[in-house]
Amino acid sequence: MMQPLDQSAHPIAIIGGGPAGLMAAEVVAEHGLSVHLYDAMPSVGRKFLLAGKGGMNLTHAEPRDAFLSRYGQRRPQLEPFIDAFDTEALRSWAHGLGIETFVGTSNRVFPKDMKAAPLLRAWLHRLRERGVQFHMRHRWRGWSGWSGNARDNHVIFDTPDGEHTAHADAIVLALGGGSWARLGSDGAWAPWLKQQGVAVTTLRPSNCGFEVNWSEHFQSRFSGHPVKPVVASWTDAAGVAQRRQGEFVVSSSGIEGSLIYALSAPLREQIAATGSARLYLDLLPGKDLSQVIEGIGHPRGSRSMASHLQSRLGLRGVKAGLLRECAAADFSDPVRLANAIKALSLTLNATRPLDEAISSAGGVAFDALDSHLMIQSLPGVFCAGEMLDWEAPTGGYLLTACFASGRAAGLGTLAWLKERARSAR
């Protein structure tokens, strides 16, 4: 149990009102310290609420090793924080707010009512009961004279009433990544931290759509149509062939949706390395190549090839449109056409803009932080959430890491304050 800290000290400033910032605020406030939370938006949790509109996916109940593998190269950095606040701990925390959860058929974990707003309301009520003070429409602009030791450190904000400065003994930055700027995650903090010598990896789209050069005819006819089921194949950075089944949506500019978001990291990196990425789509995953060849080869009489494919193989609608769009030259050769149906080549030319992405990759480099998420060159300044350099697919992984890193930053803040007090004796 951590010893009580000096409650007469200056407040702890939590900057950013998303899940990571709110969790850091809760951890610090639990120990009786004065906590002031600042956010540039009129209210907290805006991205959290929007993400929950289709059903609030809090976390995922798959086995630990599979769960941690979703964080890719950043697993070693995130693993201790997630182990300390894993799926069961997160569900227990939600239950403590009066929010019952359940595990869906895909192992995703949801609140019983599938909504984000009741959870956020209960959470804010508890934070206010513990003394957390909220300051909205306060856009962080940095600090003056920060040393981590002085009692007169100033944190600076732009507000509708002009510049505001506040004292703080420690700061937790939980400013989000670079996606969905209208909800507050605009990445505006990155240049400022770079100027302070903090290593920040360039923010890039994650869980994003990709651009495809559709013909005007295909775009106008099929934009917004879902493509399901389908198996996507691609070659990863190590040269290993990968396959994944799912569904996606044709957009006016290319493709998006759950299957594409899950593949966004390797596809994005391939585009960065070579200028484009190649994705192969199995339009009929329930039939093998020989069955497709047999179906195409069946006498079709006076029927058109489109009618023949629909009749013999069930290939219709947007899938038939994709085949015509990307493999029109193969329609005269049954074997080539069958191979195109089982491995339709689609060229992706670019990611969609960062601000359209569900999340972002890049951010404050872990090498710039200590094991408690404190910036090593700025004692008393901690970072948490999506502004750290990691990414993960949708499915509860993003939120879990935000909650876990926010908790870790809060605990790190308490440990640092305790150590500073001990050194001052």
Q: What is the pLDDT of residue 153?
A: 75
Same domain, 367 and 331: no
Tell me the β-bridge partners of 159. Answer: 162
Task: Report if residue 7 sits inside a domain.
Answer: no
* End-to-end alpha carbon distance in the chain: 21
Task: Report if residue 49 sits inside a domain.
Answer: yes
- What tokens were used for 387? 């502004």
Same domain, 364 and 346: no
Q: Does residue 178 carry a pLDDT above 80?
A: yes
Condensed to tens digits (0 to 9), the pLDDT of residues 11-53 reads 999 999 999 999 999 999 999 999 999 999 999 999 999 887 8
Could you tell me the pTM of the whole model?
Answer: 0.91
Report the domain count for the chain: 2
Task: Report if residue 347 sits inside a domain.
Answer: yes
Same domain, 309 and 376: no
Q: What is the pLDDT of residue 4?
A: 53
Condensed to tens digits (0 to 9), the pLDDT of residues 203-238 reads 999 999 999 999 999 999 999 999 999 999 988 777
Condensed to tens digits (0 to 9), the pLDDT of residues 312-325 reads 999 999 999 999 99
Domain end point (choices 351, 378, 395) = 351
Same domain, 48 and 193: yes
> What mean pLDDT value characterizes the chain?
93
How many CB atoms neighbour CB 38 within 10 A? 26
Same domain, 126 and 230: no
Domain end point (choices 298, 323, 351) = 351
Task: Report if residue 3 sits inside a domain.
Answer: no
Average pLDDT over residues 389-414: 97
Domain end point (choices 317, 351, 385) = 351
Same domain, 80 and 113: yes
Task: Report if residue 72 sits inside a domain.
Answer: yes
Q: What is the pLDDT of residue 143?
A: 85
Here the CATH number for the domain that contains residue 411 is 3.50.50.60
Average pLDDT over residues 268-278: 94
Q: What is the pLDDT of residue 2?
A: 46
Same domain, 367 and 338: no
Same domain, 64 and 106: yes
Same domain, 19 and 113: yes
Q: Which of 38, 35, 213 is nearest to 138 (CA)?
A: 38
Same domain, 225 and 189: no
Q: Cα–Cα distance between 352 and 339 in angstroms, integer? A: 29
Annotate 70-103 with DSSP letters as a single string: TTGGGHHHHHHHHHHT-HHHHHHHHHHTT--EEE
Q: Cα–Cα distance between 84 and 407 in angstroms, integer? A: 9
Distance, C-alpha 31 to centroid of its chain? 30
Q: Does residue 145 carry a pLDDT above 80?
A: no
Q: Specify whether the backbone of 56 is left (phi greater than 0), alpha (psi in -120 to 50) or beta.
A: beta
Is residue 407 within a helix (H) or strand (E), and if so which, with residue range? helix 397-424
Q: Which of 50, 45, 28, 56 is nearest to 127 (CA)?
A: 28
Task: Report if residue 116 sits inside a domain.
Answer: yes
Task: Report if residue 1 sits inside a domain.
Answer: no
Residue 44 structural domain = 12-205+360-424
CA-to-CA dists, residue 165 to 16, 138, 158, 323, angstroms: 16, 10, 9, 60
Same domain, 146 and 240: no
Task: Report if residue 6 sits inside a domain.
Answer: no
Same domain, 104 and 46: yes
Residue 28 C-beta-side C-alpha neighbours within 13 Å? 35
Q: What is the pLDDT of residue 239?
A: 81
